[in-house]
Structure 1
Amino acid sequence: MQQTIQDFLSRQRKVWFFNVRGDLIAGIVVALALIPEAIAFSIIAGVDPSVGLYASFTMAVVIAFAGGRPGMISAATGAMALLTVTLVAEHGLQYLLAATILTGIIQLLFAWAKLARYMMFIPRTVLVGFVNALAILIFLSQVPYLVDGDTTMWALVAAGLIILYGLPLIPGYPKLLPPPLVAIIALTIVVYFMGLPTLEVGDMGEMPSGLPVFLFPDIPWNLET
């Protein structure tokens, strides 16, 4: 019995605690970046920022227990935000929720049919084109904020870019300290203690004040839908 318990604990350590330091660093980076990222993607998709925050929180918690795989995005992603713009504009939020459920069902069917192996037949040029187009569209969605920005915003943007691209060039810079994490913490401290006038997260939309409520989408459940 004791040996069985020890084997169980050993397996759990290998599954959950084999990379504690890396998981903690990744978790801190995601926790700090997820809020503005979710709000930005919500604006791109045409929904209230609270929708993106609720969705990102729910996905992060679920995937922490359900498991994932390397390279898997389990939070807000621009690829989905850009594809749902027209759907939200023409049919509203309820249809977006229904489309999300349908997307999950299709992914389960793909997994059951083991269709992931056919990804090797997609040309690399298609993947590169998709990622580049995604980056361009996300950048264009942020152009109005850049155009209307003041000197303070441009200075913070420049400082962020210097940190992101400059730190890895320093000899002996520790690889376990991600430059994005340094940029977020450093610029946040500068803005807070210097009292710089910047656009805050709360200025982008109403923030949720409680946990989300799980309901079925309020749409007609028929073949036409």
Structure 2
Amino acid sequence: MTLVNGIERVTSLLPSRKDYRWIRRTWRGDLLAGVTVGIVALPLALAFGVSSGAGAASGLVTAIVAGLVAAVFGGSNIQVSGPTGAMVVVLGPIVVSHGVGVVALVSVLAGIVVLVAGMLRLGRVVSYIPWPVIEGFTLGIAIIIFLQQVPAAVGAKAGPSTNSFLAALESLRGIDWSTAWWSIGAVAVVAIIMTFGRFVHQQFPGSLVAIVVVAVIATVADLPLARIGALPSSLPSPLVPSIDWASAGSLIGPALTIAALAAIESLLSARVGSTLADTGPYDADRELVGQGLASMASGFFGGMPATGAIARTAVNVRSGGRTRVAAIVHALALLAVVYFASTVVSQVPLAALSGVLMVTSTRMISGATIRSVVGSGRSDAAVFIVTALITVSFDLIVAVGIGIAFAAFFALRTLSRSGGVHREELPGAAQPGDEHIALFRLDGALFFGAAERMLDRVGRISNVYVVIIRMSQLQLLDSTGARVITEMVHALERRGITVLVKGIQPRHLRLAERVGVIDSLRHTNHLFDELDAAVEHARSHVGRSLAAEEAALEAAEREAA
């Protein structure tokens, strides 16, 4: 049985005929969507390749190879993969530090890590990332992408700093204004066409049209604009990246960072895509397997790491894509560009690509989304802002980690406030001695964040002989909360106060026994299932205590007389 389950687990991560069961009904829409996404992806692939430092050819190869492999092996029917802005943000400093020659190797190493994560069934981890962290992360990436385009947008060299903000400022100091205005003008033309093209038609390929217009003008007028340069006229032959063992150890950290980013962004994109179209749920683990294989394949062909692309996936859905055939066609369309239009594409000005990325970055997160996050509460706003600031200032993965930590802190604080200790009146008609009985109800959550508050509240009682603790309304109990209850019982018993516990839920009973809550009671019959029985026992105990006190007082008076 174990062998059968193992085989099923493996085969569930592999392509099957079920992936294409709807192709007879959707193939027309898939073909149209694939071509449309290819048109949209072409300028982005070129721009992301240039921006990362790996080169336009690397971006184009990645979109083709990784896009094809991820489409076949991934876990989403509509996901479109390739180079993305987030990956460029991480890859840029690696290229600066280690050189462009390590890109292919890092891509393969990161792909292996993502592949192993998928095989270990770690795909659902992304579901634990809070929404404000995701949006803060996205905003930070958008800001970095915009800042990274500033040097090319003004026709200057990027500054030496690895921080995008400082590098942008440093590049502005070296502007040659005699040529800078041409670059700025090219960016402005691209921005205008992409912005107003939406009013023509929702599917208007603004980025492609903008690049064509700028490229034609620059060529006809012989404008002083830097161009993409030579592109391959065919797909490179696959090669195993060379390994420099002396420096291989220094690439482990960057590879793990890229792998984490690839997994997070791909799963987020797949999750968003599954909400846009009724094409069935995505398989998170298979998606990781597909993305891992995609980055590995990209590295073998000299490309860069790839991830699922939210923007291209959304275009795919809006264009009618319903199966993975659309993503496959998108890759084949880009392959056709390599074989039939590489010479033309090589004349595209770099400033035009910068304009495309600047506009793209401004569309990555909307004002409505920011207002929604900030308006949802102070804690969510703080998580959102902190994540965005750390993303821009330090590191993407660090930003996600700190963002999750902040979100967890605020969540625990809210959860601890949901727990309470309330003193209640005894049920039924009041009886003599009831003032010496304290009934406390524990509700909500009692864990390490709230336990001390309960201990302080109960510990301040006075003139009480019996304390009844109601635990039937307690929703969450952890070991710290159970230990505090144990300490509280010991402290009250040392003061001569009898403690009765009522209504421990079955799911909390084992923890209460292990931590010592039950053993801390004076007698095992001080544990009750019904409140009336606990109150009756408490009144009986108080009656005996008052009678004993009265007898002792009378004896003392007789001795004094």
TM-score (norm 1): 0.73
Residues of 2 paired with 1:151 and 1:94: CA distance? Answer: 34
Q: Partner of 2:197 in structure 1?
A: 163
Change (3 A) 1:124 1:117: same
Q: Partner of 2:63 in structure 1?
A: 56
Residues of 2 paired with 1:88 and 1:145: CA distance? Answer: 17
Q: Partner of 2:249 in structure 1?
A: 224
Residues of 2 paired with 1:215 and 1:32: CA distance? Answer: 28
Q: Partner of 1:141 in structure 2?
A: 148
Q: Which moved more, 1:70-79 or 1:117-126?
A: 70-79
Report deviation, 1:81.
1.4
Letter in 2 for 1:97: A
| Contact 1:152/1:196 (<8 A) preserved | no
Report deviation, 1:190.
5.9
String of CA shifts for 1:126-155, please: whole Å, max 9, x gaps. Answer: 111111111111111223344443546524
Q: Partner of 1:113 in structure 2?
A: 120
Report deviation, 1:62.
2.3
Of 119, 131, 137, the match for 1:124: 131
Residues of 1 paired with 2:76 and 2:115: CA distance? Answer: 15
Q: Partner of 1:3 in structure 2?
A: none
Residues of 2 paired with 1:12 and 1:20: CA distance? Answer: 13
| Contact 2:186/2:214 (<8 A) preserved | no
| Contact 1:45/1:82 (<8 A) preserved | yes
Report deviation, 1:35.
2.7
| Contact 2:48/2:59 (<8 A) preserved | yes
Q: Which moved more, 1:105-114 or 1:18-27?
A: 18-27
Report deviation, 1:23.
2.0
Structure of larger gyration radius: 2
Q: Partner of 2:234 in structure 1?
A: 210
Q: Which moved more, 1:85-94 or 1:63-72?
A: 63-72
String of CA shifts for 1:165-193, please: whole Å, max 9, x gaps. Answer: x357xxxxxxxx623x3x3565577668x
String of CA shifts for 1:55-75, please: whole Å, max 9, x gaps. Answer: 221112323433441674511
SS of corresponding position for 1:97: helix
Change (3 A) 1:191 1:25: farther
Question: Is there any run of 5+ residues in structure 1 with no aligned partner, and where?
Answer: 1-9, 169-176
Residues of 1 paired with 2:122 and 2:20: CA distance? Answer: 31
Letter in 1 for 2:32: I
Alignment of 1:91-102 (within 5 A): 91-102=98-109
String of CA shifts for 1:32-77, please: whole Å, max 9, x gaps. Answer: 2333212211222112221222222111232343344167451111
Letter in 2 for 1:224: G
Does 1 or 2 have the higher relative contact order (CA < 8 Å, sep 6+)? 1
Q: Partner of 2:203 in structure 1?
A: 178
Change (3 A) 1:95 1:13: closer
Residues of 2 paired with 1:120 and 1:161: CA distance? Answer: 34
Residues of 1 paired with 2:94 and 2:189: CA distance? Answer: 37
Change (3 A) 1:13 1:79: closer
| Contact 1:42/1:48 (<8 A) preserved | yes
Of 177, 188, 207, the match for 1:154: 188
| Contact 1:41/1:52 (<8 A) preserved | yes
Letter in 2 for 1:84: L
Residues of 2 paired with 1:36 and 1:145: CA distance? Answer: 15
Q: Partner of 2:331 in structure 1?
A: none
| Contact 1:156/1:187 (<8 A) preserved | yes
- Percentage of matched positions with identical amino acids: 29
Residues of 1 paired with 2:115 and 2:47: CA distance? Answer: 28
Q: Partner of 1:196 in structure 2?
A: 217
Letter in 1 for 2:194: G
Change (3 A) 1:13 1:109: closer
Letter in 2 for 1:105: I
Residues of 2 paired with 1:27 and 1:122: CA distance? Answer: 31
SS of corresponding position for 1:163: helix
Letter in 2 for 1:80: M
Letter in 2 for 1:35: L
Change (3 A) 1:122 1:188: closer
User: How many residues were matched structurally?
Assistant: 201
